[in-house]
Each structure stands twice: as structure tokens, then as C-alpha cells.
Amino acid sequence: MSTPRIAVIGAGPGGLTCARILQRHGVTVTVHDRDPGPGTRNQGGTLDLHADNGQIALREAGLLEEFFALSRPEGQEMRQLDPSGATLFHHVPEEGERHKPEIDRGRLRDLLLGSLQPGTVNWGRALHAVGGPDEGPRQLHFTDGTTVEADLVIGADGAWSKVRQAVSGATPRYSGVSFLEAWFDDVETRHPDIAGLVGQGSAAAADGERGLFAQRNSGDHIRVYIIQRVPVDWISAEGLTTGDTDALRALLLERYGDWSPRLRRLIADNDGRYVDRPIFALPVPHVWEHSPTVALLGDAAHLMPPLGVGVNLAMLDACELALALVRHETVDDAVRAYEKTMLPRSTETARLLDGAAEHLLSTELPDFTGDGPHGH
């Protein structure tokens, strides 16, 4: 098939990277995303793009130098503290260190969106289901009642992927560990002590049951992830909702009662409400019977705990899938070639990270030379 109709579901870093590389090679592609527009919701915190995966994808996308211009290499600074606030470990990046510089998710998405041909992304298209025979063509049924036909559906639609359901019955399972996200704005002026504690990168502390992970974002913002081993419904079990900011704050201060006052500010001095982020992961290994008309990448294929590899793997998947589609005669051959590399890699990584959400609570110092608890 010389001109297959390729539909990417999800305009996150993985889906947009795939579309960008396909377009660079003259391949027509359409992206569908459920958000009404690119600025509908906050894209989340900062992430680090690694030289051996995420940066490879950006080089293939022709965007590596633009990424370096937008990134924050100083964000590679890391501090490990104990609950008393004492510093156990402090890494300051060397001048010119580019192994895994930070970039805000929103800035990365804007970089990728701006590189695509106008009209590539169809906004406000929430996928309901993928229909049609395995050999194709596939029907994409959207929640607005419209249907689109495609010869290849690329599922880049994240943890709760609708595309995944066309090839796999697997569903994400709760890890037993949950994040509560807190935001701090205008930190140099309004929260100078927290700004000093976190530095230009990140600061982490844990006592075996509880943890904190604070991360500098661009625009004078800091995000803090309050990490607990709790039931998935722990907030409602306390008779609260995420809107009950004062009551949640009081509960958290009680739970972290023996931590230093300076670290407790990371819990209590936040601007606005908390955001509940329970950590889910797909079963390991997650494999499925090959389909010639469906491909999965990123969290849709291999949702893992957030230990700094998720977006990097998604972008590497996207790069390899796009190049396979460019280099093979048929879509079927391309998807087979892609899965031959992607599935063993994702299985190996998922096995390493299986249950690793617990590591975020460990009092042992993480291996900061590898993919530490960075890049949520």
C-alpha cells in the first residue's frame, strides 16, 4: 500500500514525535486528541530527556538543537535529604553537561506541535473505540459520533489507552503508592526558603513509609510530589475530596509530624489545591498478539512507575515506529519490525521497574548515575 492512512491517537510527546518524523520523510499522518485545543490543560511538570533515548528521537525529528535551546541543563542538579532536612547527597551538573537536561512538558509539546504541518492535529476528538477487522481498514469511533477510517492506528493515548483495547485485555493496576501534587508559584519571591531547599533541580527525602519529591519547573514554579503508601481511595476514605485543601493539609502535616519544619513547608505552603495522582502500572510482561493495523507506543504499550523513563521510552518508540514505516514495504512488515525491538526493550525495563514505586519511599540512596527518581 503506497499511501496508507495513518492515524495517531494522542497528541502527547510520543504521538507528536511519531507524526513529526513521518512528516519529515514525506509520509501523511493525522493526529487525533481528546483535548479541545493545545492549551486546554496543564501538561504537567518537568522531565529529563536522556541522551540514549529521548534525545535520539529529537535528533531524528530535526529538533535537537531547538530542544537544547529550550532546556534547562541546570535542572540536572539533585539533592537527597533525610527527614530532618540534612543533605545526604548533592549532585551539581558540570558546565555543558547534556546527558539529561530538563524541559517542561508544556514546552516540549509546543516544540513538537510547532514542527508539524498546519492541521495535522484534530482537537476535540476523544476516541470511543477502534472497530473494523484485524486486517483493516480500521474504524475509529469518536465520542462525538463521527467515524474515521484508517489503515494503521497508532495508540499513543497513554495509561488508559482506548487503542490498547483493540489488541490487549490488559488494564493498569494500582501500585499501592500514590502521589499528591502541590504547586508553588513565584518561588523566589513568595517561597524563598523552598526555592533554596530545592535549588535549580530537584530535592527528595523519604523515611520508608512516606516521601517527598520537589522539582523546579521553569517560570519560577516548583512542584512537590507527596508520596505515600496508601489505598487508592485514601482521600475519600478520610471523608474528604481533593477540594478540601485545608483538611488535607492538616492530615498530611499529622502524617509527616516527625519531619523537619523546613520539609513540612513543602507539604503545607502550597498555592492552591492538591492534585491526586495514584500510580498505576501495566502487568509485566505486557505483550499482545500482533495486529497488522494497530501499533502501541509509550504508556499505551508499557505503563510503568514514574522513575524517569516514561516519556523517554515513548519518544524512542515513536522514532523507531516512524522509521520502520518509512523503511518497510508494508505497514504489517513495519509494525512487526518495530515490535521485534520495542517489546523486548519495554519488557526488560518494566521488569526492572516492577514494584519500583516503592523505591520512592526507600531510605536508601538511589543510584543517581542511572535513571533515578527524576523526570515525573
pTM: 0.89
Q: No. of H helices and E strands in the chain?
A: 12, 17
Q: Is the pLDDT of residue 51 over 80?
A: yes
The predicted model gives 244-251 an average pLDDT of 96
Q: What is the pLDDT of residue 97?
A: 61
The answer regarding whether domain 174-280 maps to CATH 3.20.20.370 reads no
The predicted model gives 24-50 an average pLDDT of 85
Question: Which regions of the chain carry the CATH code 3.50.50.60?
Answer: 6-75+98-171+282-360
The predicted model gives 248-277 an average pLDDT of 94
Which of the four pLDDT bands, split at 50, 70 and 90, describes residue 243?
Answer: very high
- Name which residue leads in pLDDT, 200 or 35: 35
Q: Is the pLDDT of residue 125 over 60?
A: yes
DSSP string, 223-270: EEEEEEE--TTHHHHTT--TT-HHHHHHHHHHHTTTS-HHHHHHHHS-
Q: Is the pLDDT of residue 34 over 80?
A: yes
Residue type, 245: T
Q: What is the pLDDT of residue 372?
A: 37
Is the Cα torsion angle 262, 268, 272, 276 positive or negative in sign? positive
Lowest-confidence segment of 30-34, 60-64, 132-136, 360-364 by average pLDDT: 360-364
Which of the four pLDDT bands, split at 50, 70 and 90, describes residue 375?
Answer: very low
Q: Is the pLDDT of residue 367 over 50?
A: no
CA atoms within 13 A on the CB side of 376: 28
Q: Is the pLDDT of residue 370 over 50?
A: no
Which of the four pLDDT bands, split at 50, 70 and 90, describes residue 351?
Answer: confident
The predicted model gives 220-248 an average pLDDT of 94
Provide CB contacts within 8 A for 198, sequence distance 6+: 79, 187, 214, 215, 216, 222
Q: Is the pLDDT of residue 100 over 80?
A: no
Tell me how crowded residue 272 is: count the other CB atoms within 10 A of its CB: 10
Q: What is the pLDDT of residue 1?
A: 45
Which CA distances in Å does 82 have to 86, 87, 177, 206? 6, 7, 20, 7
Please state, in angstroms and rounded to a whole number, the distance separating the CA atoms of residues 132 and 135: 8
Q: What is the pLDDT of residue 340?
A: 97
Q: What is the pLDDT of residue 374?
A: 37
Write the pLDDT tens digit of every residue in 272-331: 999 999 999 999 999 999 999 999 999 999 998 877 678 899 999 999 999 999 999 999
Distance, CA of 37 to chain centre? 19
Fill in the DSSP letter of residue 354: T
Which of the four pLDDT bands, split at 50, 70 and 90, describes residue 258?
Answer: very high
Q: What is the pLDDT of residue 360?
A: 75
Question: Which regions of the chain carry the CATH code 3.30.9.30?
Answer: 174-280
Highest mean pLDDT among 74-78, 218-222, 366-370: 218-222
Q: What is the pLDDT of residue 369?
A: 36
Architecture of the 6-75+98-171+282-360 domain: 3-Layer(bba) Sandwich (3.50)
The predicted model gives 233-262 an average pLDDT of 95
- Name which residue leads in pLDDT, 93 or 175: 175
Q: What is the pLDDT of residue 98?
A: 65
Residue type, 319: C
Q: What is the pLDDT of residue 371?
A: 37
Distance, CA of 208 to chain centre? 25
Please state, in angstroms and rounded to a whole number, the distance separating the CA atoms of residues 80 and 72: 20
Fill in the DSSP letter of residue 117: P
Write the pLDDT tens digit of every residue in 194-214: 999 988 888 999 998 899 999
Q: What is the pLDDT of residue 346?
A: 92
Q: Is the pLDDT of residue 114 over 90?
A: yes
Residue from 124, 143, 144 nearest 39 by CA: 124
